[in-house]
C-alpha cells in the first residue's frame, strides 16, 4: 500500500515537471529577449511553422517618443509570437554595429534597426546582406549609396514636419520673430531634416530669424540646460523656441519659467512628436503647438518582417502621415492620445 502511494506521488510529480518544462520552453519562443547573448530560438519541429526570430537594435531611451516606439515594437512582437532580441545602444552607433553583428551570428530571420545617425552603416549592412538577413529601418534613415542594403524604411517625413512647425510659427507671429532652436542629436536624420524644413519656410519671411541654435540631444535635461544658456545670453530677445522634439521643448519650458518668463505667452514654443506630456503642456497653456510624429511603428515593422520572411516584397519607403496640433484642440484630444 505504501509503495503504491509513493508510485502515484512520483507519477504526479513527473507530470507536473513535464508541464512546467513544456511551459518554459514555450515562453522561450515569445518576445522577451533582452540581451544579444540569448541564443536564437530554434524550435522547428517537423511540420510545424518555424518561429520567426528578430533582432531589434534600438537607439536608447532618450525621449517619451522613443520609449513609446520600443513598447510598440515589443508589444507587437509578443502579440504575433515572434521572438524579439532587444538591444538598447545607449545612443552609440558602435553599440548598434556590435548588436547587428551579434544578430547576424545568431542567424536571426530579420533585423529591425533604428539608426542613431545617418552615416557609417555600409560595412555592417553589407554583412547582413551577405548573410541574407533583411534589415528593416524604423523611424530614422541612413545615408548609403546602395539602397539594396536595407529592405525598407518606415518613417515620418521629417522635412515636412519642420515645414509644418515653421508655417505655424510664421502664421502665429505674422512672419516676424526672433527664434532659438533646440536641435536633435547631431547627424541624426530627424535633426538634419527638421532643421531643413523649418529653415525652408522661415527664409520666406525676412522678419523671422534664428538667433541661436544648438543641440539638446533630444532629451529633456539637455534641452533645459541649453535653454538656460540661451536665456543667459539673449534674455528677453527670445520670442520663440523651435525644438526638434517635445522633450527638449518641455525642458525649455522649465528653463523659461525658472527665469520668470511665460512660455506659451511671452515666448512661443513649438515642437515635434505629439507625446502626451506635450498635450498636457498645451492644455496648461505653456506649449503652443506640436507636430505629431507617430512612434507606434510595431504593426508596420512586423508586417514588413513577415512579408520579407515569406519571400514577398515590400515598398522601399513606408511614410507615416503626421499633422500639427495646437492648444485649441489639445483639451478635446488629450484623452485619446495613445502615447
Ligand atoms: O522625434 C525624438 C526621438 O527618431 C523620430 O527621436 C525619432 C526622434 C523623435 O528621440 O523624440
Any ligand 1 atom below 6 A from CB of 273: yes
Q: How many CA atoms lie within 13 A of 170 on its CB side?
A: 17
Q: What is the pLDDT of residue 255?
A: 98
- Which among 218, 222, 252, 291 is the best mutation to test ligand 1's pocket, defined by most ligand atoms within 8 Å of the CB? 218
Dihedral Cα 116, 122, 127, 133, nearest 10 deg: 60
Does ligand 1 lie within 6 Å of residue 218's CB atom?
A: yes
Q: Atom of ligand 1 at shortest distance to CA of 272? A: 1
Query: Tell me, what's the pLDDT at 170?
Result: 98
Cβ of 293 below 6 Å from ligand 1: yes
Ranges of residues in the chain whose predicted pLDDT is under 50? 1-5, 7-47
Q: Are 233 and 200 in contact (CB under 8 A)?
A: no
Q: Which CATH number fits domain 53-156+295-320: 3.30.465.10, 3.40.50.2300, 3.40.50.720, 3.40.50.10070?
A: 3.40.50.2300
Please tell me if the CB atom of residue 194 comes closer than 6 angstroms to any atom of ligand 1: no
Q: Where are the alpha helices (DSSP H) in 177-326?
A: 189-202, 220-234, 246-258, 276-283, 298-309
In whole angstroms, what is the distance from residue 183 CA to residue 244 CA? 5
Domains 53-156+295-320 and 158-294+326-336 agree in fold: yes
Distance CA 257, CA 77 (A): 42
Residue 268 Cβ inside 6 Å of ligand 1? The answer reads no
**Cβ contact 96:120 at 8 Å:** no
CATH number of 158-294+326-336: 3.40.50.2300
User: Model's pTM, two decimal places?
Assistant: 0.86
The residue extents of the domains of the chain are: 53-156+295-320, 158-294+326-336
- The ligand 1 atom at the shortest distance from the C-alpha of residue 65 is 11
CA of 245 to the centre of ligand 1 (A): 7
Torsion-angle region of 139 (φ positive above 0: left; ψ -120 to 50: alpha; else: beta): left
**pLDDT value at residue 63:** 98
* Ligand 1 atom with minimal separation from the 62 CA: 10
Residue 223 near residue 252, CB atoms below 8 Å: yes
Task: Quote the ligand 1 centre to 140 CA distance (angstroms).
Answer: 8
Pocket probe mutation, ligand 1, options 62, 69, 184, max atoms within 8 Å of Cβ = 184
Tell me the β-bridge partners of 83. 53
Report how far apart the first and last C-alpha atoms of the chain are (Å, whole number).
Answer: 63
DSSP labels, 271-282: EEE--HHHHHHH
pLDDT for 43: 41
Residue 115 grid cell: 539608426
Strands 240-243 vs 268-273: parallel, antiparallel or unpaired: parallel
Closest by CA position to 210, among listed 162, 142, 251: 162
Question: How many Cβ atoms are within 10 Å of 114's Cβ, its own excluded?
Answer: 24
Cβ–ligand 1 contact at 66 (below 6 Å): yes
Q: How many CB atoms lie within 10 A of CB 315?
A: 11
310 C-alpha vs ligand 1 centroid, how far in Å? 30
Amino acid at each position: 500500500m505504501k509503495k503504491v502511494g509513493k508510485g502515484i506521488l512520483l507519477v504526479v510529480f513527473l507530470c507536473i515537471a513535464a508541464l512546467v518544462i513544456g511551459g518554459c520552453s514555450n515562453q522561450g519562443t515569445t518576445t522577451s529577449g533582452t540581451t544579444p547573448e540569448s541564443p536564437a530560438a530554434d524550435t522547428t519541429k517537423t511540420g510545424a511553422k518555424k518561429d520567426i526570430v528578430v533582432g531589434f537594435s534600438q537607439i536608447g531611451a532618450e525621449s517619451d517618443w522613443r520609449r513609446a516606439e520600443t513598447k510598440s515594437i515589443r508589444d507587437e512582437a509578443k502579440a504575433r509570437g515572434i521572438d524579439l532580441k532587444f538591444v538598447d545602444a545607449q545612443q552609440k552607433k558602435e553599440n548598434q554595429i556590435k548588436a547587428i553583428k551579434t544578430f547576424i551570428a545568431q542567424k536571426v530571420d530579420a533585423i529591425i534597426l533604428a539608426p542613431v545617425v545617418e552615416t557609417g552603416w555600409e560595412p555592417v549592412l553589407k554583412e547582413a546582406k551577405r548573410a541574407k538577413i533583411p534589415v528593416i529601418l524604423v523611424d530614422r534613415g541612413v545615408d548609403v549609396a546602395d539602397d539594396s542594403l536595407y529592405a525598407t524604411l518606415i518613417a515620418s517625413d521629417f522635412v515636412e514636419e519642420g515645414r509644418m512647425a515653421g508655417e505655424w510659427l510664421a502664421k502665429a507671429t505674422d512672419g516676424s520673430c526672433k527664434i532659438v532652436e533646440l536641435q536633435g542629436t547631431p547627424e541624426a536624420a530627424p535633426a538634419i531634416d527638421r532643421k531643413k524644413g523649418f529653415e525652408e519656410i522661415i527664409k520666406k519671411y525676412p522678419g523671422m530669424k534664428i538667433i541661436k541654435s544648438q543641440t539638446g540631444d533630444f532629451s529633456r535635461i539637455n534641452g533645459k540646460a541649453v535653454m538656460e544658456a540661451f536665456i543667459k545670453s539673449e534674455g528677453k530677445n527670445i520670442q520663440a523656441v523651435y525644438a526638434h522634439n517635445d522633450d527638449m521643448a518641455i525642458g525649455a519650458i522649465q528653463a523659461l519659467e525658472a527665469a520668470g518668463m511665460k512660455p506659451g505667452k511671452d515666448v512661443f514654443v513649438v515642437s515635434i512628436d505629439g507625446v502626451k506630456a506635450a498635450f498636457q503642456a498645451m492644455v496648461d497653456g505653456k506649449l503652443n503647438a506640436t507636430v505629431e510624429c507617430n512612434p507606434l511603428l510595431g504593426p508596420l515593422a512586423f508586417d514588413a518582417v513577415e512579408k520579407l520572411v515569406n519571400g514577398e516584397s515590400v515598398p522601399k519607403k513606408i511614410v507615416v502621415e503626421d499633422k500639427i496640433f495646437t492648444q485649441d484642440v489639445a483639451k478635446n484630444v488629450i484623452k485619446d492620445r495613445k502615447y
